[in-house]
Structure formats: structure tokens, C-alpha cells
Chains A and B, each alone.
Chain A
């Protein structure tokens, strides 16, 4: 296992490198000087404008979406005490999808799609919270089951809307569902949300380490379990809602990045949470740049690429086996 002290700077370098890569990648072949001038802001050529107005905002948006999803995924996994949980498992994205597709069906513009997607995410979050809360305990299992069932309900509605939509709407809807950054104008307010989310989550990191070992164990060591679970649930849902609002339901990042980082550097949330933001952000920037150039001039939904990069990487790390010499057998 590598030391987090070493891993975090490595991940930060990886993030910067991925953004630089995204600035160079594209159908217009821009050289180093053009990109440099664009960043320094002292030249107004077409190349510089492409970098400044298209590639940079999109790369930043990709970073933020990837960071939001990975952070939300890490939180969701500890909340549900299940390494298989992802940010979408409790139906937040389903609620957002139903609202977004409904808005597209109604023919409203991109602003309303985003606004309603966020509203849909919040509605779903409150719905699942209310239903899971109910009477009695708020156990991970109960929360998970409620969320999964509500998500299935949203899924049915989504399929229904796809089935009744006119053909001209279908492509946009499918791209939204697969995750797509093509219509993102930039990260905007979500950068602030990501920073705030990371700060909040980081402040809870040590209690989260205890929560990962079970509610009773955490409580016995002085963690106020119930309030913590509520805060973590709300935070993870908000982060997911923001990510989905920006880019639709990009899959895989939120499930696999935290998991990969745990395999490499251990499960201490004080490193895992910032690491997830950097790693998830970088992965999505890289994937989105590839999605733009692989079959240019056509663009792929970024979700395809995240899975294509992530699956082999993840399997490799998993296969590498236990982190120390002795095998469990």
C-alpha cells in the first residue's frame, strides 16, 4: 500500500496532466504555443479562442463532474457500508432523469432541463429519505432497499418516456442518460459546490472511518451516528444532483474511483475523499477528451469511455490481490 502523502500529490499531477491533455486534444490541431498563449490570455486568435472558450471550460466541467461523482460515490459507499454502492443507487439520478427527460419532451430549453433535473434529484432525495426514515431504525439495508426500489420506479418512468418520445428527441435523451458534456457551458457554480462538499466531507472524515466499521462500533466510540448519516446522505445526494444536472448520468466514475483508491492507498477517508475528487475529476477529463477525438468529428457519450478506461484498470488492481505478502488462505 502506498502512502497517502505520496499518492495525493501524484493524483494532483495526474489531474493537471489530464487537463493539459484535454486542452491539446481536439479536431483543430493546436500547438503548444497557441495553448500557452490562450492560457496566458495574450492572444485572440481562433486557436486561443477554441482553447479558452471551448476546451478549457469543458475540461473544467468534466473535472468537476468527475470529482462530484467520485466524492458522492465514496460517501454513498460508507453510508451504505457497501463497496458496490454508487451515487445513483438510491435513485437521485433517476429522479433527475425523469425530470430532465420530461422537460425535453415538453420542448423546453437547456436551462430548464438542468433546473428541473436538479429539482428532480432533490425530490427523489427527500422521497427516499422520508420513506426510509419511517418508523424505527434507519439502517443501511433499509435505506438501500428503499432507494433501489424508488430508483426502479424512476427507471420505469424513464423507459416509458423514451417509448412515447418522438424520434427527434430520442438522441438527446439517450445522450443525457449516458452522460454527455457536449452541452455544458462550463463548471459555473458547481466548482464552489465541489469545494464546499469536499470541505464538509473532509471535516467528517474521521467519524466516517468509524461509521465504515458499523453503526454500533461508531456509536460506542463517540460518533453521533444518526445525525452523521443524515448529513452524509444529504451531502452525497446534493453532489450527485449537481453532477447529473451538469452532465446527465455519467456512469462508472462514482462506483469505481473510490474503490480503486481504496485498493491502492487504504480506506482512511482523510485521504480517500480528496483523492476521490482528484482521481475522479482527472478520469473524467481524460475520458471526455477521448470522447471528443476518438471518432471525430462525431462525439461519443463520455460514459462509454469512463467504462472502457475504468474496467481494465479496476480489474488489474483487483487482481493484484492482497496488499501485503501473505495471502488470506
Chain B
């Protein structure tokens, strides 16, 4: 069954319409890249898919049921989002932060048990932060915080990962490693990955589908093979982009 789909979806930011009549279908095992210039509406679109804001028109369906009929906690067990930035005005340790991902899985009076701690430690190990468990979050670097946010999302353990610029602040090793791990994870459990990216080459490497959000509000979606080509990308970024064959892949370079 389709994991996440939209019907006649339209979203609005400050009076500007994006993606009129959008009908996305995100199927199990797929990886989607959302590409677009700054301010094109990638974040707003992800927030709308995640149910953090209502669409201007149309409906988002999760597992075939309209998102607004899902309970918040129930939908948080199926679908999780990595926000673009996080702030922590209060002190917290790395482990505590990872553990908040368990919230939708716990009853109102339930405390995190050994199983939840185990899940948190596993996720921290996946992002190579296992030795940081007791460190206060405010001593982490930007990239380490980003990895912690990803670990928190893995602890939440949704089927659908919505990622808003997941590679921000990450070094090359972690960009490749973590996107690879996330793709394996979602494929293994028949989930899906939807990520807003700025790096076309990461999109080409990790995604089988793309959604191009143009600055005029138009949107185009389809298979990565078809849509990741210099013509569309040049139009998308309003900057000439060349495609250079590189082994069995293609590299995209700004001219």
C-alpha cells in the first residue's frame, strides 16, 4: 500500500502558492529528494507532509487514511521528521535527547525502560556518538548535534523519514554513511525516505525519485533518472548545470 500520498495538495507561504494540485505517491522502499532554490518551499512542504501545518488545499494521506484522522502519537510512530534546526535553551545530555524519540511509543505514565535505553544507545552508535552519551548537548559541535538529531529520529523509529536538509553541518564521511544507513533502514522495513537536499549529487546517489520545486511555485516529480538532467536543473537553480559521466554515475557540476 502507498505509504504517503497527497491529493490536490496546495501549500502556501506568505501568500505564495507552491505546487498546485500536487499528487505525490510515496511507495514502500522509495527514496525521494526534494530539490529547489532557497525559499522555494521545501521546508513548508515537508512540514505539511508531516502534519505540522495544515495544507492550504487538498489532503495528505498516511497509509491511505487522511492525516488529520490520525492521532498525533499514532502518526508519530509511522512518520518522523528531522527539522532544519534545533535549539536547546535548557541543559540536557546526549542520551536524554536521543530518548525523547521514544515519546510516541510510551504511555502517558510510562517511563523509559531498558529497551528504550538500548534503542537510544544503538541509535547513538549508528551516528558514531556512542561515547558521547553523558555529554551535555551544548558542548557538541554543529555536525555532532545534527547527528544527534538523526539519532533521535532513529530512536523514534518511524517507517517514513522526512528529512529537512539532513546533511547540514555534516562532514563528507557522515553525509555518505548516514544517508546510506537511512536508506538501508527504510528499505529493510518497507519504509520511505523523503529528504530536502541542496546537493544534487547526493540526490542522484541516494534517491530513486525526485520532486523539483521551482521558484515560481510549479513542481515536477518523477523518477530521478528522468528528472535529474541539466535542462531541468538549470531551470530549477537558474544557473547552468552540466552533467559529467563519472564511472557508472553522473556528476552534476555548476558551470
Chain A residues in contact with chain B, CB under 8 A? 1, 77-78, 81-83, 203, 206-207, 209-210, 212-214, 216-217, 219-224, 262-263, 266-268, 270, 322-324, 326-328
Contact = CB atoms under 8 A, between A and B. Distances in A.
28 contacts: A1-B93, A77-B90, A78-B90, A83-B89, A209-B100, A212-B90, A213-B87, A213-B100, A219-B52, A219-B72, A220-B50, A220-B52, A220-B76, A220-B81, A221-B100, A221-B156, A222-B74, A222-B103, A223-B72, A262-B91, A266-B92, A266-B93, A270-B111, A324-B134, A324-B135, A324-B136, A326-B135, A327-B139
Given A221-B101, A224-B72, A268-B96, A326 B139 contact: yes
B73 interface: yes
B80 interface: yes
B75 interface: yes
B113 interface: no
B106 interface: yes
Contacts of A263: 91
B208 interface: no
Contacts of A77: 90
B135 A216 contact: no
B138 A328 contact: yes
B217 interface: no
A222 B83 contact: no
A78 B91 CA distance: 12
> Chain B at the A interface: mostly helix, strand, loop or mixed?
mixed
B92 to A, nearest CB: 6
B80 A220 contact: yes
Q: Which of A217, A222, A267 has the most CB of B within 10 A?
A: A222
A322 B136 contact: yes
Contacts, number: 85
A81 B90 CA distance: 8
Given A219-B52, A220-B50, A323 B106 contact: no
Given A213-B100, A222-B76, A263-B91, A324 B139 contact: yes
A328 B103 contact: no
B92 A267 contact: yes
A1 B136 CA distance: 10
Contacts of A223: 72, 103
Interface string B67-78: 000011111110
A221 B103 contact: yes
A323 B93 CA distance: 10
B168 to A, nearest CB: 16
Interface string B9-53: 000000000000000000000000000000000000001001010
A214 B104 contact: no
Given A219-B72, A220-B50, A326-B135, A213 B88 contact: yes
Given A223-B72, A324-B135, A203 B93 contact: no
Contacts of B89: 81-83, 212
Nearest to A258: B90
A121 B172 CA distance: 56
A210 B100 contact: yes
B245 interface: no
Given A213-B97, A222-B72, 10 more contacts: A1-B93, A78-B90, A81-B89, A203-B108, A214-B83, A222-B76, A266-B92, A266-B96, A267-B90, A267-B91
A214 B87 contact: yes
A83 B156 CA distance: 27
Contacts of B75: 222
